[in-house]
Amino acid sequence: MQSENNTNFLEMKKGIHPEKYRLVAFKDMSNEHVFITKSAANAKETIEVNGVQYPLFKLEISNTSHPFYTGKVKLVDTAGRVDKYRTRYQKHLDIVNSNKKK
């Protein structure tokens, strides 16, 4: 599409984007880091930051705790997922190793 001054730009599709953006506090639960940005995310809880109440959206991981951004190798185990994976993978390795011995 082109505007009146003949420069190229893309228009957003009508009717598919949220109408109500507001400031929301996002909290990384692994390190308690809180940041505020505009969002349309639904939040049931609120948090006070610098004397202002914001809707609170809890995150399991963010750029302040993710190994890619921090440069630290740290496993974030959410509800035992890592342990379940290791157990499942170990069973697979045991089967493969027992087949090699035969």
Confidence class for position 1, pLDDT limits 50, 70, 90: very low
What confidence tens digit (pLDDT) does each residue in 32-83 have?
889 999 998 888 999 999 999 999 999 888 878 776 767 776 555 566 677 7
Alpha helices in the chain (DSSP H): 67-70, 81-101
Residue 71 backbone phi and psi in degrees, to 5: 80, 0
What's the DSSP call for residue 26? E
